A and B are shown apart, each in its own frame.
Chain A
Amino acid sequence: MTPVNEFKAEPVILVGMAELSVTNHPNSCLTTSLLGAGIVVAVHDPESHVGGLLHFMLPRWSIDKESALDNPALFADSGIPALYKRCYKMGAEKERMKCYLIGGANVMDRTGGFNLGADNLNAATDILSKNGVSVEKTWSGGIEGRVIKFHTDAGRVDVQIRGQQEVE
């Protein structure tokens, strides 16, 4: 058994856009670059202490299949399965896993010609529900940029709006 106090400093892992990262370090912090219309899918298994973060950019891998093969984290429908597979490999089990969605902000658009944030959110909820995953909590929409800190000890998500002090 590792004594708890050995992890005094929470290791911080930065997950950039179109990246995914999974850890089984019981006390780490996964954080993202500033999030706009992209979406972060954060998953956590409290028993195996596996936590993962996917920061995808776009809704569908059919947008650029070649790039999706190269980097599944670009798209919702290639990134989410990749995230879950990595978690399973590290010992996570689907029934125990909790899932959170953050992001999907939109620019102001009166015509609906460019709704990337909404498209991304739809794509993520779609693929999750098709796979029987219910989302614990969603922070989405609006016109704000968000920064996330995901603490894998308790699977806690801190969402900070750019330009504001409080953490949600």
Chain B
Amino acid sequence: MLLLKDLVRKVKDLPPLPDIVVKLLQASRDPDASVREMVELIKHDPALTTKVLRLCNSSYYGLPRKINSIQEALVYIGTDTLVNFILAGCLAAFYQQSQDGYGLESGDLWRHSVGCAIAAQLLSPADDDALKSEAFTAGLLHDVGKIILSSFVGDKMQEIMDIVKDEDIPFEKAERRILGFSHTEAGAQMAKMWNLPEPLIEAISLHQTPQAAVNHKRLVAQVHVANILCISFGIGIGTDGLAYSFDPSAMEELELNSDDLYAISVKVHDQFSRAEDMIGLIAPTGHADAKAA
């Protein structure tokens, strides 16, 4: 069984979350932070600038002309989207190691996270850009706890899955019983230690139990439903398979029925197939970047 101190030590062993991620997250939530400040932050990181420009020029966005600078990127795709790209660029490195404890191959968890980010964003109201952006980030991060728990899961996976099947309970409950923590709790702990904004911590921690959300019900519901969709479509799932429970209160929160979800799924699939550049950020250089930061 894991204790909190083991978890904390494990998080400390990870490469640190690049400073720029935390700063950008804070700046993007601060109405007083200027676009220029953000550009300044990004410009000082050439590797990041290159990645961001590559993404802006990818087929995912299909912009009519080539983007050559961060300033131009801001004009064309907007601050929120740009911040998302940067976050994706920085976070990809953390997902690079295979989470083989969970039966995930290298790149699977990243694909799952990008899929969930796209779906969570698509579940936002059309006119709420701030929520769209936050939902995307929350989707990228929702399973971050699997990164640290993976090495503890190891040979206990079978034991966890036996409990899931024998007692017909969702994966994270069996996971907590065997490991001492579920990946949602581990993820929330990481997010706190990384000083991530509070809505993201709530989304990570409650995405499996959205009815428990307090301050960010809508965001948590979006991530919950997005995760269920990605799992259903087999996007980056491991030995845990589809062993997660669906909470209908999230559909009420979002005012959607299952036909609406099916229609949104077509859009998710379409955007996900065009997101290869974002998925490609898992390229081997990613890890080195994070270590150097």
A residues contacting B by CB (< 8 A) are 17-18, 33-38, 57-60, 63-64, 67, 74, 105-111, 113-117, 119, 142-145, 161-163
Give the CA-CA distance A7 to B170 in the complex, in Å: 46
Please pick, from A106, A111, A119, the residue contacting B248 in the complex, using a CB distance under 8 A: A111
State whether A17 touches B245 (Cβ < 8 A). no
State whether A162 touches B269 (Cβ < 8 A). no
Interface size class of B (residues with CB under 8 A): 20 to 34
Give the CA-CA distance A145 to B246 in the complex, in Å: 17
State whether B242 touches A34 (Cβ < 8 A). no
| B220 is an interface residue with CB less than 8 A from chain A | no
Give how many A-B residue pairs fall within 8 Å (CB-CB): 107
Residue among A63, A108, A117 with max Cβ neighbours from chain B (10 Å) = A108
B residues contacting A by CB (< 8 A) are 103, 157, 161, 164, 168, 170, 228, 231-235, 237-239, 241-246, 248, 251, 258-259, 261-263, 265-266, 269-270
Given contacts A57-B233, A145-B237, A163-B161, contact A113 B246 (CB under 8 A): yes
Give the CA-CA distance A119 to B257 in the complex, in Å: 14
Closest to A147 in B: B234
Give the CA-CA distance A59 to B251 in the complex, in Å: 20
Give the CA-CA distance A105 to B259 in the complex, in Å: 18
Please pick, from B234, B259, B270, the residue contacting A38 in the complex, using a CB distance under 8 A: B234
State whether A163 touches B232 (Cβ < 8 A). no
Give the CA-CA distance A90 to B238 in the complex, in Å: 37
Apart from A67-B266, A108-B243, A163-B241, 6 more pairs, CB < 8 Å: A18-B269, A34-B235, A63-B263, A109-B245, A116-B258, A143-B243
